[in-house]
Structure 1
């Protein structure tokens, strides 16, 4: 998949990076990554919207017309993982 930047020795914490200007949505990236970590097909995972609104997640830190950076982070739980998405594009996925 090529999105993992680093992984801790315990293999329970995964670091990804998301470019908000790219076409791939952050919600798809998260589901794809967790499916890969669990060696499962994305279709077998529960819908992400059971944990968070994917459309809101995909757009909350996106570019604005004045290209001002929106600072912040969002944390939610999904499929036995705690997911932290930061405005600068860092994503931390930790197995609970």
Structure 2
């Protein structure tokens, strides 16, 4: 099952944890710490708006709690989290 999150209400690292928890049918606190897979602060920095107001481009992929995580930007510049 693949879950794609395009909601822009939480930090990207929170979207990863809550998305994996939803797929697992558990609470986020039951999952391993995200920092075991990736630095949450660095992840947030990569996907925040630049000082000029322009969004960054690119993708980040990593494994967390047995799921492949893919974070990228859609055509409008919004951050999209896909959990496999």
TM-score where L is the length of structure 1? 0.76
Structure 1 spans left out of the alignment, 5+ residues: 1-11
Matched-pair contact (CA < 8 Å) for 1:75–1:84: yes
SS in 1 for 2:16: helix
Equivalent residue for 1:14, pick from 3, 7, 22: 3
CA deviations 1:10-66 (Å, max 9, x no partner) are xx11111143xx5x2111111011111111111111000000000111121211221
TM-score, normalised on structure 2?
0.85
Question: Which runs of no fewer than 5 residues in structure 2 stay unpaired?
Answer: none
Q: How does 1:52-71 map to 2 (within 5 A)?
A: 52-71=38-57
Q: Which has the higher contact order (CA 8 A, sep 6+)?
A: 2
Question: Higher strand share goes to which structure?
Answer: 1
